[in-house]
Amino acid sequence: MKLYLKILPSIYFFIAFILTSCLNKGNDNHVITIEYSGDVLEYQLPYRNFIQLQESDERIWKNPSVNKVYNVSDGLFSPIRVALKDSTVYILDPYDGLIKAIDHELAAIRKIGPGKGNGPGEVSYPFDFDIDKSGNFILMDIEKRAVITWDKQGVPINDFLFKHATPTTLTSADENKIVVMVGGGNYADFNEIGLFQLYDVDENKITSYSDFLTNTEHLPPFIGLERAFTGRILFDNHKVIYIPRHLNHIIYISSTGEIDLVRRTVDDIQTPTIQFNSEESGSAGFIASTSLSSDSEIANLSGFLVDNSLVIWSRPGNRKYGYHVFDYYDRENADYKFSIKIPQLGAIADLCINENYIATINSDGSVSLWDYSISD
């Protein structure tokens, strides 16, 4: 009996440890799985020791009031990205390679840019864009592998062509600088230039900004890690806020390219798996095809800077609650604040949100503008 009493606390401790481990399985999952030639390799997230959890993963709800201002479809063909600046909605339309501007009051389309073609400033397949503080337009063309800049009237400024890597998203920065996220290409070139690059519009040159995909010596020559690290990048007060699409993380990168802070979002999902679809390789060790496995979840659809908040459009939140869920985090330290859900938006392909408005690209190809306010 005495022996039983002595070991009873150890039994309780062991059971508690097992239960805690099961409950925190997602929290401790800092490994990206790589399936290659029948082998399963593990890539430890290099910033895993930086990751801080939120105090709670329970959402705190606030109630938004939402009203539709207008809906526009004429003159739009295949809108893919939308942005808000001042009193105007800007839409990127790859069909004709133009940006369409819609004034909040007029609800009439104004066309910007030289359009599609091979000349200076012309685009082939623009996939993302941003607007800098001066009102100039920055476009990412995935077919040309280029970053293309126009002034506010759409007159070409510069084209920058990437040799091997492909730009995947971008954000405007200070002093005519653009932070570009890249992926693809030969791994030796990709490793040399880094995951993030800084493009100088005035000098038309690019330099490495940040690359934290390290510890790759035991992995294949080209591992396709950038597929797991696609996401949204924002520039805020001399730092980059990086929101991975397939990882439930918010990552703050300093002006020198170092990771300052990593916070978990309120959603708990497993890290993604990278699959090699072909074992064919070229002379430089390029693996022909890689992809994320079909069970790799999407964590964050997009992110926006709104007043003193970082707002994340949450895919797990959308699926769980059946509405469009927006989680608000503190802009400085990514502490979770509250959430809102907006069922009125319906089926949409993209959106942008600021302090007063939400602009949506709807599933039928039209664009809507909504005004909204949030009450406690």
Residue 161 sits in which domain range?
59-375
Kindly state whether residue 165 falls inside one of the protein's structural domains: yes
Kindly state whether residue 4 falls inside one of the protein's structural domains: no
Q: Is the pLDDT of residue 11 over 50?
A: no
Q: Please tell me the predicted confidence (pLDDT) of residue 212.
A: 78
Q: Is the pLDDT of residue 188 over 70?
A: no
Q: Is the pLDDT of residue 6 over 90?
A: no
**pLDDT digits 0-9 by tens, 226-250:** 788 899 999 998 999 999 999 999 9
**pLDDT digits 0-9 by tens, 71-81:** 999 999 999 99
DSSP E strands, 265-347: 273-276, 290-292, 300-306, 309-314, 324-330, 336-342
CATH code of residue 204: 2.120.10.30
Give the length of the chain: 376
Quick one: which of 210, 235, 260 has its CA closest to 251?
A: 260
**pLDDT digits 0-9 by tens, 132-146:** 999 999 999 999 999
**pLDDT digits 0-9 by tens, 247-256:** 999 999 998 8
How far apart are alpha carbons 109 and 99 in whole angstroms?
10
Q: Please tell me the predicted confidence (pLDDT) of residue 221.
A: 59
Using CA of residue 117, residue 119, residue 121, residue 127, what is the dihedral sign? positive
Please give the tally of structural domains in the chain: 1
Which amino acid is located at 108 in the chain? A
Q: Is the pLDDT of residue 17 over 50?
A: no
Question: What DSSP designation does 190 have?
Answer: H
pTM: 0.88
**pLDDT digits 0-9 by tens, 249-303:** 999 999 889 999 999 999 999 999 988 776 554 444 444 578 899 889 999 999 9
- The residue that leads in pLDDT, 191 or 363, is 363
Neighbours of 277 (CB within 10 A): 11
Kindly state whether residue 10 falls inside one of the protein's structural domains: no
Q: Between β-strands 196-200 and 205-210, what pairing exists: parallel, antiparallel or unpaired?
A: antiparallel
Kindly state whether residue 332 falls inside one of the protein's structural domains: yes
Q: Please tell me the predicted confidence (pLDDT) of residue 112.
A: 97
Contact present, 128 and 81 (Cβ < 8 Å) = yes
Residue 269 CA to chain centroid, in angstroms? 16
Kindly state whether residue 30 falls inside one of the protein's structural domains: no
